Each structure stands twice: as structure tokens, then as C-alpha cells.
Amino acid sequence: MKRGDPNGPFLATARGEFASRRPLWIMRQAGRYLPEYREVRAKMSFLELCKSPVAAADVTMQPLRRFDLDAAILFTDLMTPAEAMGVGLRYDPGPVLDRTVDSLEAVESMIVPDPERDISSMLETASLVRDELDEQKALIGFVGAPFTFACYLVEGRGSKHWDKVRRLMHGEPEVFDRLLTRITDCLEPLVPALVRSGCDAIQTFDSWAGVLSTEDYATRCAPHTDRLLRAAKDAGAVAIDFVNGVSQHLPTMHEAPADVLAVDWRLPMREIRARTDRVVQGNLDPTALFCDEAELRRKVAAICEAAGDRHIFNLGHGILPQVDPRAVEVVVEEVHR
């Protein structure tokens, strides 16, 4: 399998080594802000696109054709493995599950997938992208962190506060703990399968960890994410731990078996750097892309200066559909200045 050059900007920086330039990529960089992506989506649903390796590989490469980014991230969704786990899934526009998983019986009924058999379209997409991708560019695969995955399974769809899953955590701790263990059992085999298919790095997405207290995250949730991060490293890939809600969780993240700590925008980069010497990724506020050009350049430069060399530039969460692609050009120019 073709691999990314370990001395390329992204992989070198992720491992704490010297890089020729500061690398950057953008969470959700293949998405609705690009007109070419909207053209594809006009012809097929989101789930159809995720299941179509040729189309998904093309969409993955779209932002790399426009911008001088240092990594591609596989086009899929953190919940797409749910179907292979025996839970029906549709998108409206976010994930909607056909049943909730909030009892021991429902947890035990979840199937542990064979990635090569049950999630093969994702793996084929990774192989196609890696074949096309320049060796100086890394390919990032990803999985949902078990807590965030559980949020959707318990609630059935998106939520503002994720009250139901937190009630389960406190009111039925045995069910909650068993659910996170089962999710981790289901996702862990996918991690090395993605690496074998060409992914140079694996990022765990804990998009909703910000609703958790420091103690609950550290004792109940982070240990399951750590299993997935270790699986990535054991497979020879860079492991990236993204937590949306870094303000209260940075001490726990600092102890994670990850190469890179990916952080949101809520803490200034200077404070993050003062609290950890690990390689960090982030942390421009996604809405800063709506600033005028001079202010956007100032914000980007300030993050780079505060972060130092052990830094991969990114947003603190996914890019918004309303962003003008020119704003991304400005960010790329400023980071690579």
C-alpha cells in the first residue's frame, strides 16, 4: 500500500520532528462550502455518497485540488459504521437512527462489524484516495469517540444538550459503561483496517465532550477513546485526539496516548501552549472565516506565533457551509507565509 512520506510536513510535525513548513488542513474541508461538492450532492444523498467509493474519493480530493493543504481527510461520517452495527441510519440532514440503544438488551444486540466485509466502501475510498494523493500529503481517517457515538445512539438524533445520554450515565451507569465498551469493541477493528487501506493518521472525534464534567470525561469516557488511539499507534499511524470542549478536559487529554492533541477555539492558543508541550492542532474559531481579510490574517498569525513549531494549523471545529472559499485561500496563504 502506498503511504505518505513520513518526512512530509504533516507527518513530521505530528511526530514532533522538524518539518519544512507548518502543516494545515481543515476539519470538514470536503463539504458544502465548495460548489463542486454541491454539484455532486445534487445527484446523490449524503449516505449514497459515503457508500460510493469512487465518488467519495473524488470529493475527498476536491479541497486538495483547490488549496495547498497538507492532508486529506477521508470523506465519510463518524456514524456511518452504525449500519454495520445493526442500527439503521439516515441523514436529515444530520444522522437519525431508526432505534435508540439505551438498555442492556439493546446494547448486547449490537453487532461487532468485520470492517473488510461490512464497511468495505470506506476502506475502498481510502485506498483510492491514497493512490491519487501526493506522497507529501497525509491521508487522515477517523472514527467517532465512543462518548460522541453514544450520544447519537441514545438520543436517536442530534441534541443541544445531550440530556438523555447524561441521564443514562448517572441513572443507569452499568448500561452506559457497557454501551461505551460495546461501541469501542465495534470501532477498534476499523482503526487498523483504515491504516491498512492507506490512512497515515487516525483522528478520534469527541464532538460533544464539552457537555461532560472533568471527572465524568476523565473516568467514564476518555479511557474508551484511549483504546482507539492506542489501536491507531499500534497499527503504525499517527493518533490525533480531538475534543470539542478542551477548556475543562485539557489535563485529561494531556495524558492520552495520542501524538497530537486537537483543540477547539474556546481557549487562546497561548494558554493551551502554556498548559501542554504536546503537538497541538487547531484552533481558529470557524466563524473567524467571516472576518475581513486583514483581521483574518491577524488571527491566523497570532495562533501560529503562540503555538510555536509543534503545531498543525486547523479550525477548532468543522468549516461552515456559508464560508466563501476565498477565506480558506487567505488562511492557507497566511499559514504558509
From first to last of its 337 residues, the chain has per-residue pLDDT tens of: 789 999 999 999 999 999 999 999 999 999 999 999 999 999 999 999 999 999 999 999 999 999 999 999 999 999 999 999 999 999 998 999 999 999 999 999 999 999 999 999 999 999 999 999 999 999 999 999 999 999 999 999 999 899 999 999 999 999 999 999 999 999 999 999 999 999 999 999 999 999 999 999 999 999 999 999 999 999 999 999 999 988 899 999 999 999 999 999 999 999 999 999 999 999 999 999 999 999 999 999 999 999 999 999 999 999 999 999 999 999 999 999 8
CATH number of 9-335: 3.20.20.210
Catalytic residue among 3, 5, 15, 32: 32
User: Of these residues, 3, 15, 41, 298, which one is catalytic?
Assistant: 41
Active site residue 66: no
Q: Is 297 a catalytic residue?
A: no
Q: Is 230 a catalytic residue?
A: no
Question: Per DSSP, which regions of the chain are E strands?
Answer: 71-73, 89-91, 95-97, 138-144, 201-206, 238-243, 260-263, 279-284, 311-315
Q: How many H helices and E strands in the chain?
A: 17, 9
Given 130, 152, 217, 241, the catalytic residue? 152
| pLDDT confidence of residue 155 | 97
Q: What is the pLDDT of residue 27?
A: 97
Q: Would you say the pTM of this structure is higher than 0.75?
A: yes
pLDDT in the model for residue 246: 86
Q: Could you confirm whether 28 is annotated as catalytic? A: yes
Which pLDDT does position 2 carry in this prediction? 84
Cα separation, 164 vs 133, whole angstroms: 42
Domain boundaries, the chain: 9-335
Active site residue 152: yes
